[in-house]
Structure 1
């Protein structure tokens, strides 16, 4: 009987370990110790800056409740398929996709049995570092071009008792489409899956209708969250976006009530 009980416990532990972003206690402690021993940069996020940036996902009260609900819905859907990679995009600019990506990551980080990596994959207009208030340093483009390692470009950003891993953008690139389809990108994604195997990985992608960047990278993603903006996204934009998203799993569509005028993006208005 003892041997049967032991076998059942091992099977349960193995099943839990295959779910991205959640680990049994012992494994989770090993992972955190491993990350603490690594050379990742450590930063403390400024609450005042987050407030000005409309980042509320780190709060457990009313301000962050919307993102907590989104978090639960997205994670439930991803856990069903053991998905790890979640891409976030929008039909056009100024829909709030980067804001949603940051808030969702901060909300997931508050769960004690979850870890999250936020990757700024909007190579044309990286905004994650600006929203989080991060200082200049190596970013994803430096890794793709071989000027920095993944560990050197990734940092751990903390707010209160929670923390998220961040692979920020760096200088904007005019060769975004080429990088998205490159072998270097494939190698980087494999490295992320290996090095952050216990993390849900959120990729902030460019708007889907402003180039072929998103179309190039979507086959490498497992799930997608589409963010639309009231006043910035037309019904025609949504229909066109859905055509491009037919080959990926859209876990949710978020509609933001954007009131400010959209800024210039990629030279578009």
Structure 2
């Protein structure tokens, strides 16, 4: 957990003070959801001006901000390849740290690699924001899949910008987010994603870790975690509390957002 210890030191240096019954779709014999394998998905063209306005900058090769995400991409993929990991969770101690911006930029950066493909899943059932940042209309995609109203293959969209493409499963707001995260149906959804998208790195944008028990409920089903902290948003005690919950989950990197007061999405990582 050396990366978390380094984040603790950075936060200290900054001196920051600051239920119902769930019913899901029927399961297949292997415990996954009934779903067709990867097929033709609805395509959405992302607008560069919308991305830029929302600090999503890693969709192209130009621009100095995007290259920081490319460096993060390379280090994250090296760690995941070493262990044959597929599922990466992106979370933060509290709100306002930039976890969704990081998840979107990392996914777009991976999509630019010629021999890589990525699926970005918005599993923040409290405040889903992937669709807003990318300019995609979600129409309750994740919740529709969990409740059996929409097959996974129909809910996933192909987002493209320039010559690059990635798959996105937009999010949904649920008043039962904690229960869904711990449910057998969620486990079945993850099994289906692992089976039907086995050639892809899957990035899950999760809620903030300390907001409730959503993240700790799903962590045992995830291979590795990327923790996003924010200078001015994250305290030393926040990071130490996260460390307790992440004892059994590999943390591939800790991204420290808002390191400087200028220049948009600059960040450091450990």
Displacement of 1:135: 2.2
Alignment of 1:120-269 (within 5 A): 120-170=122-172, 172-257=173-258
Give, in whole Å, the separation in 2 of the partners of 1:173 and 1:142: 11
CA contact 2:90–2:204 (8 Å) conserved in 1: yes
Displacement of 1:138: 4.3
Query: Which residue number corresponds to residue 113 of structure 1?
Result: 115
Gaps of 5+ in 1: 1-33, 261-269
Displacement of 1:59: 1.8
Displacement of 1:39: 3.7
* More helix, by proportion: 1
Give, in whole Å, the separation in 1 of the partners of 2:130 and 2:245: 24
Q: Does residue 58 of the first structure (1) align with residue 59 of the second (2)? A: yes
Taking structure 2 as the reference length, the TM-score comes to: 0.81
Helix, strand or coil: the match of 2:149?
coil
Residue 152 to residue 138, structure 1, CA distance change in 2 (3 Å)? farther
RMSD over aligned CA atoms reads 1.4
User: Where does structure 1 differ by over 2 angstroms across 4 or more consecutive aligned residues?
Assistant: 135-138
Gaps of 5+ in 2: 1-36, 263-270
Query: Which residue number corresponds to residue 76 of structure 1?
Result: 78
Q: Please, which moves more after superposition, 57-66 or 101-110? A: 57-66
**When the two structures are aligned, how many residues end up with a matched partner?**
224
Helix, strand or coil: the match of 1:202?
strand
Taking structure 1 as the reference length, the TM-score comes to: 0.81
1:52-91 CA-partner distances (Å, limit 9, x unpaired): 0110111212231000000000000000000000000000
Give, in whole Å, the separation in 1 of the partners of 2:180 and 2:60: 35
